[in-house]
Amino acid sequence: MTTREIDNELELLQGTLDLLILQTLAFGHAHGHAIARSIERRSEEVLQVGHGSLYPALQRLLKQGLIVAEDGISENNRKARFYRLTAKGRKKLFAETSKWQRFSDAVARILAPLAEESK
Amino acid sequence: MIWWKRRGGRLEKEIQTHIDFETQENIEAGMSTEAARQAAMRKFGNVPLAVDKSREVWGWLWPERLWQDVRYALRGLKKSPGFTVVALLSLMLGIGTSISLFSVVYGVLIAPYPYSRPNEIWAPAVLGANDSARFWHPYPLREFVEIQKLSSFAEVMATSPRPVLLTGGTNPESVNGVYLTGGAFNFIGVKPVIGRTIQPFDIHAGGEPDAVVVLTYSFWQRVFNSDVHALGKKIVVNDVPYTVIGVMPPRFGWWTNDSFWLPLPMHMADDTFVHVIMRLRPGITKQVAEQQLNELNIRLAAQYPREFPKGHLRTVLLNYMDITQASGQMSASLHLLLVAVGLLLLIACVNVANLQLARTTARAREIAMRLAIGAGRARLVRLLLTESVILSVLGGALGVMFAVASTRIVVALIPPDYVPNEARITINEYVLLFSLAVSMLTGILFGLAPALRSSRPDLVETLKDGGGGATGSARAQTLRNWLVIAEISLSVFLLAGASLAIRSFVQVLRTDPGFQPERVLRMDLTLPPKQYTSLEQRNMFDRNLLQSVMSLPGVESAALGNGGMPYSNWRSSYSFEGQPSSDDRKIIVSLISSQYPQTLGIPLKRGREFTEAELENGMHVALINESAARLWPSGEDPTGRHMQIDALIGPTPESVFKAAGITPDVTIVGVVGDIKNAGLGDATVPAIYLPYTMFGPPDRQLAVRTFGDPMTALNGVREKVRELDKDLALGRPVTLDEVLGDETQQPRFTMALLTGFAALGLSLAAIGIYSVISYNVSQRVHEIGVRMALGAKRGDILKLVLLMVAKVAALGLVIGLSGSIALERIVRFQVFAKASFDATSLAMVVIVLAGTAMLAAWLPASRAGNLDPVAALRHEA
Query: Amino acid letter at B156?
Result: V
> Is the same domain home to B561 and B701?
yes
Cross-chain Cβ contact B45/A51 below 8 Å: yes
Cross-chain Cβ contact A81/B17 below 8 Å: yes
Cross-chain Cβ contact B50/A63 below 8 Å: no
> Is the same domain home to B292 and B334?
no
| End-of-domain residue from the set B297, B323, B349 | B323
- Kindly state the helix (H) or strand (E) to which residue B716 belongs, with its residue range: helix B714-724
DSSP codes, B774-799: HHHHHHTHHHHHHHHHTT--HHHHHH
Q: Which of A15, A19, A8 is nearest to A48 (CA)?
A: A8
pLDDT tens digits for range B223-262: 898 888 999 999 988 888 999 999 998 878 888 888 899 9
- Residue A49's φ and ψ, nearest 5 degrees, are -85, 120
Q: Is B423 helix (H, G, I), strand (E, B) or coil?
A: coil
Between B590 and B453, where is the model more confident?
B590
Q: Of the candidates B24, B54, B58, which has its C-beta nearest A55's C-beta?
A: B54
Q: Which of A45, A40, A46, A44 is nearest to A20 (CA)?
A: A40
Is B32 buried (19+), middle (13-18) or exposed (0-12) by CB count in 10 A?
Answer: exposed
Total domains in chain B come to 4
C-alpha A60/C-alpha B55 separation (Å) is: 9
C-alpha B254/C-alpha B324 separation (Å) is: 12
Distances (CA, A) of B408 to B33, B310, B421, B493, B828: 73, 49, 18, 26, 28
User: Is residue B851 very low, low, confident or very high in pLDDT (cuts 50, 70, 90)?
Assistant: confident
Q: Of the candidates B11, B18, B20, which has its C-beta nearest A51's C-beta?
A: B18
Strands B687-691 and B587-592: parallel
Confidence (pLDDT) at A14? 55
Chain B residues near residue A59 by CB distance under 8 angstroms: 11, 54-55, 57-58
Percent of chain B surpassing pLDDT 70: 89
Mutation for A interface: B11, B18, B23, most A CBs within 10 A: B18
Confidence (pLDDT) at B769? 79
Report the mean per-residue pLDDT for chain B: 82
C-alpha B406/C-alpha B753 separation (Å) is: 11
In a domain, B798, yes or no: yes
Cross-chain Cβ contact A33/B22 below 8 Å: yes
Q: From its phi and psi, is residue B225 left (phi > 0), alpha (psi between -120 and 50) or beta? A: left
Least confident of B182-191, B257-266, B377-386: B377-386
> Is the same domain home to B257 and B271?
yes
> Is the same domain home to B723 and B749?
no
Is B422 buried (19+), middle (13-18) or exposed (0-12) by CB count in 10 A?
Answer: buried
Whether pLDDT at B348 is above 90:
no
Confidence (pLDDT) at B602? 92
Cβ of residue A65 closer than 8 Å to a chain B Cβ? no
Instruction: Give me the total of CB pairs closer than 8 Å, taking one residue from chain A and one from chain B.
Output: 63
Q: Which of B108, B143, B107 is nearest to B124 (CA)?
A: B143
> Is the same domain home to B371 and B291?
no
| Sheet with A79-85, edge to edge strand ranges | A30-31, A79-85, A67-73
Distances (CA, A) of B370 to A8, B259, B365: 33, 72, 9
| Contact in structure between B112 and B423 (CB atoms under 8 Å) | yes
Domain that holds residue B807: 328-511+745-874
Q: Give the HSE-up count for residue B463: Cα atoms under 13 Å, Cβ half-sphere.
A: 10
Between B450 and B387, where is the model more confident?
B387
In a domain, B163, yes or no: yes
| Contact in structure between B506 and B685 (CB atoms under 8 Å) | no
> Is the same domain home to B305 and B359?
no
Whether pLDDT at B197 is above 60:
yes
Chain B residues near residue A37 by CB distance under 8 angstroms: 25
Cβ of residue A40 closer than 8 Å to a chain B Cβ? no
Chain B residues near residue A60 by CB distance under 8 angstroms: 57
Confidence (pLDDT) at B212? 94
Q: Of the candidates B17, B43, B47, which has its C-beta nearest A78's C-beta?
A: B17
In a domain, B93, yes or no: no
From the centroid of its chain, how far is CA A110?
25
In a domain, B280, yes or no: yes
User: Is residue B475 very low, low, confident or very high in pLDDT (cuts 50, 70, 90)?
Assistant: low
Mutation for A interface: B37, B41, B44, most A CBs within 10 A: B44
Confidence (pLDDT) at B453? 65
User: Is residue A2 very low, low, confident or very high in pLDDT (cuts 50, 70, 90)?
Assistant: very low
Whether pLDDT at B411 is above 50:
yes
Chain A residues near residue B42 by CB distance under 8 angstroms: none
Domain limits, chain A = 3-118
State the Cα angle at B255 between B251 and B257, rounded to 5°. Answer: 45
Helix %, strand %, coil % of chain B (to 5):
55, 15, 30
Between B262 and B655, where is the model more confident?
B262
Whether pLDDT at B823 is above 90:
no
Least confident of A49-53, B628-632, B772-776, B825-829: B825-829
Distances (CA, A) of B153 to B288, B290, B412: 10, 10, 41
State the Cα angle at B295 between B293 and B298, rounded to 5°. Answer: 110
C-alpha B620/C-alpha B667 separation (Å) is: 6
| End-of-domain residue from the set B291, B323, B355 | B323
Write b or e for each residue in B834-847: b if 16 or more Cβ atoms lie within 10 A of its Cβ, otherwise e: ebebeeebbeebbe
Q: Which of B618, B603, B526, B601 is nearest to B565 (CA)?
A: B601
Confidence (pLDDT) at B645? 87
C-alpha B717/C-alpha B752 separation (Å) is: 38
Whether pLDDT at B467 is above 50:
no
> Is the same domain home to B498 and B353?
yes
| Contact in structure between B486 and B679 (CB atoms under 8 Å) | no
C-alpha B738/C-alpha B735 separation (Å) is: 5
Whether pLDDT at B281 is above 70:
yes
C-alpha B558/C-alpha B599 separation (Å) is: 6
DSSP codes, B238-260: TTEEEEEEEE--TT--SS-SSSE
State mean pLDDT over B521-547.
Answer: 86
> Is the same domain home to B290 and B332?
no
Cross-chain Cβ contact B14/A76 below 8 Å: no
In a domain, B663, yes or no: yes
- Kindly state the helix (H) or strand (E) to which residue B44 belongs, with its residue range: helix B33-44
State mean pLDDT over B130-155.
Answer: 82
Distances (CA, A) of B151 to B144, B279, B819: 14, 11, 52
Cross-chain Cβ contact B44/A76 below 8 Å: no
User: Is residue B472 very low, low, confident or very high in pLDDT (cuts 50, 70, 90)?
Assistant: very low
- Kindly state the helix (H) or strand (E) to which residue B277 belongs, with its residue range: strand B273-280
B405 CB neighbour count, 10 Å cutoff: 10
Chain A residues near residue B23 by CB distance under 8 angstroms: none
Restricting to A residues 4-33, those with a Cβ less than 8 Å away from any Cβ of B are 31-33
In a domain, B88, yes or no: no
State mean pLDDT over B802-825.
Answer: 84
Chain A residue with CA closest to B13: the answer is A80
A3-118 is classed CATH 1.10.10.10: yes
CA distance B373 to chain A (A): 18
Q: Which of A27, A25, A36, A37 is nearest to A69 (CA)?
A: A25
| Contact in structure between B618 and B538 (CB atoms under 8 Å) | no
> Is the same domain home to B631 and B659?
yes
Q: What is residue B281's DSSP assignment? A: P
State mean pLDDT over B52-66.
Answer: 72
- Kindly state the helix (H) or strand (E) to which residue B539 belongs, with its residue range: helix B535-550
Write b or e for each residue in A77-103: b if 16 or more Cβ atoms lie within 10 A of its Cβ, otherwise e: eeebbbbebbeebeebbeebeeeeeee
Strands B273-280 and B520-526: unpaired
3-class secondary structure for B56-108?
HCCCCCHHHHHHHHHHHHHHHHHHCHHHHHHHHHHHHHHHHHHHHHHHHHHHH
B740 CB neighbour count, 10 Å cutoff: 18
Mutation for B interface: A11, A37, A59, most B CBs within 10 A: A59
User: Is residue B688 very low, low, confident or very high in pLDDT (cuts 50, 70, 90)?
Assistant: very high
| Contact in structure between B108 and B420 (CB atoms under 8 Å) | yes
State the Cα angle at B183 between B181 and B187, rounded to 5°. Answer: 115
| End-of-domain residue from the set B254, B289, B323 | B323
DSSP codes, B648-666: GGS---TT-EE-TT--SEE
Cross-chain Cβ contact B21/A50 below 8 Å: no
Chain A residues near residue B55 by CB distance under 8 angstroms: 59
Query: Amino acid letter at A90?
Result: R
Q: Find which of B131-140, B192-201, B326-335 is predicted with most confidence, using mean pLDDT.
A: B192-201
| Contact in structure between B601 and B593 (CB atoms under 8 Å) | no
Q: Which of B131, B37, B90, B827 is nearest to B500 (CA)?
A: B827
State mean pLDDT over B663-684.
Answer: 86
Q: Is B232 helix (H, G, I), strand (E, B) or coil?
A: coil
| Contact in structure between B94 and B345 (CB atoms under 8 Å) | yes
Whether pLDDT at A12 is above 70:
no
Q: Of the candidates B20, B22, B50, which has its C-beta nearest A55's C-beta?
A: B50
Least confident of A78-87, A92-101, B222-231, B527-536: B527-536
Cβ of residue A41 closer than 8 Å to a chain B Cβ? no
Whether pLDDT at B812 is above 80:
yes
C-alpha B702/C-alpha B721 separation (Å) is: 11
Chain B residue with CA closest to A51: the answer is B44
> Is the same domain home to B354 and B269?
no
Whether pLDDT at B504 is above 90:
no
Chain A residue with CA closest to B50: the answer is A52
Cross-chain Cβ contact A50/B54 below 8 Å: no
Least confident of B353-367, B392-406, B530-544, B581-595: B353-367
Mutation for B interface: A5, A33, A49, A75, most B CBs within 10 A: A33
C-alpha B574/C-alpha B687 separation (Å) is: 11
Cross-chain Cβ contact A58/B46 below 8 Å: no
Confidence (pLDDT) at B5? 55
State mean pLDDT over B850-870.
Answer: 82
User: Is residue B835 very low, low, confident or very high in pLDDT (cuts 50, 70, 90)?
Assistant: low
Whether pLDDT at B567 is above 60:
yes
Confidence (pLDDT) at B622? 92
Mutation for A interface: B57, B58, B60, B61, most A CBs within 10 A: B57
Strands B520-526 and B699-706: antiparallel
Confidence (pLDDT) at B211? 92
Cross-chain Cβ contact B58/A58 below 8 Å: no
User: Is residue B828 very low, low, confident or very high in pLDDT (cuts 50, 70, 90)?
Assistant: low
Q: Of the candidates A32, A53, A60, which has its C-beta nearest B18's C-beta?
A: A32
